[in-house]
Structure 1
Amino acid sequence: MSTFGSKRIVVGAHYGLRDWLAQRITAVLMALFTVVLLAQFLMPGELGYDRWAGIFAQQWMKALTFVVILSLAYHAWVGVRDIWMDYVKSVAVRLALQVFTLVWLVACAGWAIQVLWRL
């Protein structure tokens, strides 16, 4: 038996890949949404409430915006959760921050979806 080296069992290496991939996929979705929104924004005509309401009144745009809201919330959750896990050493404080972050992101996503469906 060896008396040197690490006895750490390496498991779960794929979890980092899943989070990394989720960050990239949600970022691409948000970038595509930005391009679609810019294309709508650059169309000729006066930019006002009626035009914005018209853009988001279309069912495909509501569906796309809904997906982007969820993507943004998940993207933020993965990023902030990783920050808390990397820099907050106290388990109790880290758990409290993670719960607060999760509640805050769900509330913001819920509010954004409520605003979207009012248009």
Structure 2
Amino acid sequence: MSVNYGSKRLVVGAHYGLRDWLSQRITAALMAIFTVLLLGQVIFTSGPIGYDQWAGIFAAQWMKVLTFVVIIALLYHVWVGMRDVWMDYVKPVWLRLLLEVFTIVWLVACAGWAIQVLWRF
């Protein structure tokens, strides 16, 4: 008599990529909206834009927070894309794991750098 514990999980199928596909679209839309808003501020600034005007755009705390949220969205967008590239094209498991760990470390470092730039620590 065969005893099965738990349910068998189907590891293939179209619906497993839906979450990644949706997250890519949502983060891309957020970045596009932010870009349009930023371009609007730059275009409607009177006179030529210099360092003072550019720094003035990011001086408000809400703009710093919004910028950081968009940077986190960008980093997640990059993570999903790079993880898919590593899974699709790198066959040795040890190399794929190494590349994924390197990607995570790099993206966390980029987030730390973004915090430093935005809040000048």
How many residues end up aligned between the 2 structures?
A: 112
Contact 1:70 1:109 in 2 (8 A): yes
Unaligned runs of 5+ in 1: 1-7
Pair 1:18-2:22 in alignment: no
- For residues 91 and 11 of structure 2, the distance between their equivalents in structure 1, rounded to whole angstroms, comes to 21
Pair 1:38-2:45 in alignment: no
Change (3 A) 1:12 1:63: farther
Q: CA RMSD in A?
A: 1.9
| Corresponding residue for residue 3 of structure 1 | none
TM-score after normalising by structure 1: 0.86
Unaligned runs of 5+ in 2: 1-7
Contact 1:40 1:55 in 2 (8 A): yes
What secondary structure sits across from 2:48 in the alignment?
coil
Deviant stretches of 4+, over 2 Å: 8-15
What is the CA distance between 1:10 and its match in structure 2? Answer: 2.3
Q: How much identity, in percent, do the aligned residues show?
A: 71
- For residues 23 and 53 of structure 1, the distance between their equivalents in structure 2, rounded to whole angstroms, comes to 30
Deviations 1:60-111 (CA, angstroms, capped at 9, x unpaired): 2111101001000000000000000000000000000000001001101210
- For residues 65 and 83 of structure 1, the distance between their equivalents in structure 2, rounded to whole angstroms, comes to 27
If asked which structure has higher relative contact order (CA below 8 Å, sep 6+), I would say 1
| Corresponding residue for residue 71 of structure 1 | 73
